[in-house]
């Protein structure tokens, strides 16, 4: 098994009941794992099922252990590693505020085009871009914007799903 | 019974009845008064619930554990809000670690006061989240009956564990609809009971080909129930393999059987640990590769294939990587295994097994549990051996506290039946033994129940003597009194150059007078030649006894695998040369 520490994306399907998020997060912190990002939302309103997506650093072995621990939680229905390398698709949305004027402002506008970011708010001195894509793409965009007046970033955290016909 | 109108407090009692609960351990308080009121009203009915009033909520939790462990039923406890819950936390954690089914009902401040720092308010579900298998805060009267049924289901199915249902006082007073348990099915929790049959076949092939096999069994066998115990015995006899057990598994296989080579682990026998180290096939049934068992993990049984039967998938590969995982209930897996073994006409490798037994018998000759007797002072091992010899013809239930006496009890008291040995293994809770003995005595009123205790541990829940007296529970407390927190002293001797920092108890009570103060009988013995007579006196006394057995102060528990060492690096006794324990070993517990 690989001993390399990398980011893993874990999807957890849970019964949407009070305290379920606290149970999942409490277990992860209580057993000494870290979390890079976390998203949660109800995905089945009739059956009251929520999907939690966790990005956590670790070796494949530690992440597998974390998954089997998660499966011990009574309201957890399923948990799986849906990392990109395991045939998963990962997406994230970011809102990026740029405060600048003159050439920098023009350049940020031009680059946003390359990344297919949309302008959703503007003043004479600022833009707010909306950007979708893989976490890596968003990281790259933010890096490019740093010298161009990057002021503030808000990210949703990763959501992920398996490719193809496979269902969790 | 389906869909009746009743109050929340009545629902709690109705759920007890529907789940065949006739015994609870508890302590009243403001936030559970409506439930206690129902208990009072019910007192005059045909079959009232027997409520055992403890003296501290920790006592209630351990009594519920002792009751559950000794009977195979769910233990039930009832506590009030705030301190009632926080006092129960130790017992809930203990039950979580040792997989004991407990349903804890706690009162809570009324819903409109939750979150206001009200009198005796605490975040019960928050505090108990990591120490219960699951817990619920009931905010709507019409959820209560469903939650109570789910609580019993979750506590007792799969890998058992404690659950807590927190019921605000206003919910206890409100009237709502009670639904019977038959209509309630948990939304998602369905533990897998049967293992994959192809994987069972893979395991059997390994068993048939093994040259140096060993069964390593744990508390999971006992939790699975009597069927599992019988199937284990059948399978072990069918193969003729040696078998060792963890602390929690003692009694699943008869302790005096020739195939049983003793407990393994930190204070296990030489032959059991050596066999684990040198085996070529390990069959783990319902054990979890606990650190007390494995010793140094890198050198744990380096040359063996490993089969692991466990109902909890998260136990598989958690600490030790296994070759054939069988996820399922022990009884189901063993039943399928035996059937398949017979239908495929598998045969064991007899000549190799014979050689293997010869090797094991060589290790046995070390007689690792031997100790030097003394005419003038009682050796603790001798005290427990005599206790065993004088009680073995009875069906005895033994509980323990935690420390040296616990290990000596595990080593020298032999158990031939499951559920007779009740000890705090995972959490290692001092103060466990007396309340657990009370719980076991409640479940088995006519049986002999002995708490093998240390003089330090017993003081941690000594108040439960009062419970024993009030409810006429004739538990026997057999104190191995060496005036030290013996296990702490032993570690200070081995790891900290005999600097006995705060491990000596000055000003111990006079245990005989203490017994008498509670209305029990006290016996003190200081000489080896008085021991047998005194033990018989204790057994024959109809009522609780505190037996103060004054023993050699400096005796250590051997054999011992020191921290950070492997199975084949055991210390066998005081005479063995002591190797320096590495700094890496010292940080381990």
Question: Residue B188: what pLDDT?
Answer: 85
Smallest CA–CA distance, residue A46 to chain B, in Å, is: 13
Q: Which chain B residue shows the shortest CA-CA distance from A76?
A: B188
Question: In the structure, what pLDDT confidence band is assigned to residue B117 with cuts at 50, 70 and 90?
Answer: very high
Question: pLDDT, tens digit, for every residue of B71-84?
Answer: 999 999 999 999 99
CATH architecture of the domain with residue range B380-550: 3-Layer(aba) Sandwich (3.40)
A145 lies in some domain: yes
DSSP state, residue B131: G
Contacts of B126 in chain A (CB under 8 A): 22
User: pLDDT band at B470, cuts 50/70/90?
Assistant: very high
Contact residues on chain A for B130, CB-CB shorter than 8 A: 26-27, 30
Is residue B203's pLDDT more than 80?
yes
Same domain, A93 and A79: no
- A58 vs A54: CA distance, rounded Å: 12
**pLDDT higher than 60, residue A163:** yes
**Residue in chain A lying closest to B137 (CA):** A18
Choose between B110 and B3: higher pLDDT. B110
Confidence of residue B174 (pLDDT cuts 50, 70, 90): very high
Q: Is the pLDDT of residue B164 over 80?
A: yes
User: Is residue B578 very low, low, confident or very high in pLDDT (cuts 50, 70, 90)?
Assistant: low
Domain spans in chain B, listed from the N-terminal domain onward: 4-183, 197-364, 380-550
pLDDT single digits (tens) B26-71: 999 999 999 999 999 988 887 889 999 999 999 999 999 999 999 9
What residue of B is the nearest CA neighbor of A17? B136
How many domains is chain A partitioned into structurally? Answer: 2
Q: What residues in B contact A71, CB-CB < 8 Å?
A: 313-314
Give a yes or no: residue A163 inside a domain.
no
Q: What is the DSSP code (8-state) at residue B484?
A: B
Is B189 in Cβ contact with A72 (below 8 Å)? no
- Give the model's pLDDT for residue B580: 65
The 10s digit of each residue's pLDDT in B240-250 is 999 999 999 99
CATH code of the domain in which A70 resides: 3.30.70.260
8-state DSSP, B462: G
The residue from A86, A102, A136 where one domain ends is: A86
Answer yes or no: is pLDDT of B3 > 80. no
Is residue A124, in this structure, part of any structural domain at all? yes
Instruction: Round to whole Å and give the CA distance between B254 and B245.
Output: 10
Nearest to B318 among A22, A26, A65 (CB): A65
Q: What is the CATH number of the domain that holds A125?
A: 3.30.70.1150
Among A86, A112, A141, the domain-final residue is A86
For residue B505, the tally of other CB atoms under 10 A from its CB is 16
Specify whether A93 is located in the same domain as A82.
no
Size of interface A-B (CB pairs under 8 A): 42
Mean pLDDT of B109-118: 96
Note down the domain range covering A143: 89-158
- A68 plus A40 within the same structural domain: yes
In whole angstroms, what is the distance from residue A68 CA to residue B317 CA? 10
Same domain, A96 and A114: yes
Q: Which of A27, A50, A63, A74 to mutate to test the interface with B (most CBs of B within 10 A)?
A: A74
Question: Both A23 and A80 in a single domain?
Answer: yes
Helix (H) or strand (E) segment spanning residue A43 = strand A37-44
pLDDT of residue B101: 98
Statement to judge: residues A148 and A129 lie in one domain:
yes
To the nearest whole number, what is the mean pLDDT of chain B?
A: 95
What CATH class does B4-183 carry? alpha beta
What pLDDT does residue A117 have? 97
- CB neighbour list of residue B583: distance below 8 Å, 6 or more residues apart: none
Residues 91-120 of A with CB under 8 A from B: none
Q: Using CA atoms of A79, A84, A87, A93 in order, give the dihedral in degrees to the nearest 10.
A: 80
Question: Residue A61: what pLDDT?
Answer: 86
Is residue B579's pLDDT more than 90?
A: no
Residue A45 buriedness (CB in 10 A; 0-12 / 13-18 / 19+): exposed
Is A165 within a domain? no
Catalytic residue numbers of B? 57, 119-120, 169, 487
Kindly list the residues from chain A whose CB atom is less than 8 angstroms away from the CB atom of residue B313. 68, 71-72
Segment B460-481 mean pLDDT = 98
Residues B540 and B343: their CA atoms lie apart, in Å, by 52
Share of chain A above pLDDT 70, in %: 98
Any domain includes A167: no
- Write the pLDDT tens digit of every residue in B493-525: 998 999 999 999 889 999 999 999 999 999 999
- Interchain pair A22, B317: CB under 8 A: no
Q: What is the mean pLDDT of residues A35-44?
A: 95
| One domain for residues A12 and A69 | yes
* CB atoms near residue B342 (< 10 Å): 10
Cβ-nearest to A15 among B133, B187, B316: B187
| One domain, residues A101 and A47 | no
Verify that A80 and A93 share a domain, yes or no: no
Domain assignment of residue A164, yes or no: no
CATH assignment of B197-364, given 3.40.50.2000, 1.20.1260.10, 3.10.580.10, 3.40.50.1220?
Answer: 3.40.50.1220
Is 80 exceeded by the pLDDT of residue B126? yes
Note whether A112 and A77 are same-domain residues: no
A104 domain-assigned:
yes
Percentage above 90 pLDDT, chain B = 90
Using CA atoms, how far residue B583 sits from A56, B124, B392, B562, in Å, is 32, 40, 43, 12
Average pLDDT of span B155-163: 97
pLDDT of amino acid B575: 56
Identify whether residues A79 and A94 lie together within a single domain.
no
Q: Are residues A94 and A153 in the same domain?
A: yes
Rounded to whole angstroms, how far apart are CA atoms B389 and B478? Answer: 15
The separation between CA B58 and the C-alpha centre of its own chain, rounded to angstroms, equals 15
pLDDT of residue B338: 97
């Amino acid at each position: 098994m690989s001993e390399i520490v990398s980011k893993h994306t874990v999807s957890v399907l849970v019964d949407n009941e009070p305290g379920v998020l606290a149970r999942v997060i409490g277990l992860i912190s209580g057993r000494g794992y870290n979390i890079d990002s976390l998203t949660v939302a109800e995905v089945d309103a009739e059956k009251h099922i929520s999907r939690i997506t966790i990005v956590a650093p670790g070796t494949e072995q530690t992440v597998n252990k974390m998954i089997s621990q998660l499966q011990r939680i009574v309201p957890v229905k399923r948990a799986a590693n849906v990392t990109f390398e395991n045939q998963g698709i990962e997406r994230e949305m970011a809102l990026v505020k740029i405060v600048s004027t003159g050439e920098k402002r023009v350049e940020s506008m031009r680059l946003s085009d390359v990344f297919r970011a949309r302008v959703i708010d503007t003043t004479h001195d600022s833009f707010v871009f909306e950007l979708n894509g893989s976490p890596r793409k968003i990281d790259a965009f933010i890096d490019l914007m740093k010298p161009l007046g990057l002021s503030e970033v808000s990210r949703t955290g990763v959501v992920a799903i398996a490719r193809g016909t496979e269902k969790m | 019974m389906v869909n009746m109108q009743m109050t929340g407090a009545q629902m709690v009692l109705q759920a007890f009845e529907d789940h065949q609960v006739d015994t609870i351990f508890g302590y009243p308080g403001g936030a559970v008064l409506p439930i206690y009121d129902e208990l009072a009203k019910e007192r005059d009915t045909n079959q009232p619930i027997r409520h055992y009033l403890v003296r501290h909520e920790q006592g209630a939790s351990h009594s519920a554990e002792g009751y559950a462990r000794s009977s195979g039923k769910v233990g039930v406890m009832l506590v009030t809000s705030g301190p009632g819950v926080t006092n129960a936390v130790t017992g809930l954690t203990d039950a979580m670690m040792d997989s004991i089914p407990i349903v804890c009902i706690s009162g809570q401040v009324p819903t409109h006061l939750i979150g206001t720092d009200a009198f005796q308010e605490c975040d019960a579900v928050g505090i108990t989240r990591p120490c219960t298998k699951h817990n619920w805060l009931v905010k709507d009267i019409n959820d209560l009956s469903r939650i109570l049924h789910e609580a019993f289901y979750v506590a007792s199915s799969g890998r058992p564990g404690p659950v807590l249902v927190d019921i605000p006082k206003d919910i206890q007073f409100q009237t709502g609809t009670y639904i019977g348990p038959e209509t309630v099915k948990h939304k998602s929790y369905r533990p897998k009971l049967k293992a994959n049959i192809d994987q069972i076949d893979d395991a059997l092939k390994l068993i048939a080909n093994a040259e140096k096999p060993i069964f390593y069994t744990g508390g999971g066998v006992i939790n699975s129930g009597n069927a599992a115990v019988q199937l284990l015995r059948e399978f072990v006899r069918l193969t003729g393999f040696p078998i060792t057990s963890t602390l929690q598994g003692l009694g699943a296989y008869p302790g005096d059987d020739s195939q049983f080579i003793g407990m393994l682990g930190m204070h296990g026998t030489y032959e059991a640990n050596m066999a684990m180290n040198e085996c070529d096939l390990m069959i783990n049934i319902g054990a979890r590769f606990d650190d007390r068992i494995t010793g140094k993990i890198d050198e744990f049984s380096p040359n063996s294939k490993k089969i692991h039967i466990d109902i909890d998938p998260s136990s598989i590969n958690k600490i030790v990587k296994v070759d054939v995982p069988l996820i399922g209930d022990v009884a189901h897996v063993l039943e399928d295994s035996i059937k398949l073994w017979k239908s495929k006409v598998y045969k064991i490798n007899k000549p190799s097994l014979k050689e293997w037994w010869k090797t094991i018998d060589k290790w046995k000759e070390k007689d690792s549990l031997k100790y030097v007797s003394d005419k003038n002072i009682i050796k603790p091992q001798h005290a427990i051996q005599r206790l065993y010899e004088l009680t073995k013809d009875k069906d005895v239930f033994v509980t323990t506290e935690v420390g040296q006496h616990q290990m000596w009890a595990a080593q020298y008291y032999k158990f031939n039946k499951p559920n007779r040995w009740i000890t705090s293994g995972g959490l290692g809770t001092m103060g466990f033994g007396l309340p657990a003995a009370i719980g076991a005595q409640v479940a088995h009123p006519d049986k002999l129940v002995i708490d093998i205790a240390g003089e330090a541990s017993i003081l941690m829940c000594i108040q439960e003597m009062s419970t024993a007296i009030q409810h006429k529970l004739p538990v026997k407390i057999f104190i191995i009194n060496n005036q030290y927190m013996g296990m702490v002293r032993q570690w200070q001797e081995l790891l900290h150059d005999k600097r006995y920092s705060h491990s000596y108890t000055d000003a111990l009570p006079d245990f005989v007078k203490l017994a008498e103060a509670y209305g029990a009988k006290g016996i003190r013995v200081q000489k080896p030649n008085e021991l047998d007579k005194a033990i018989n006196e204790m057994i024959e006394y109809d009522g609780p006894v505190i037996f103060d057995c004054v023993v050699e102060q400096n005796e250590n528990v051997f054999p011992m695998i020191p921290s950070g060492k492997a199975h084949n690096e055991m210390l066998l006794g005081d005479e063995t040369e002591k190797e320096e324990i590495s700094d890496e070993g010292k940080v381990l517990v």
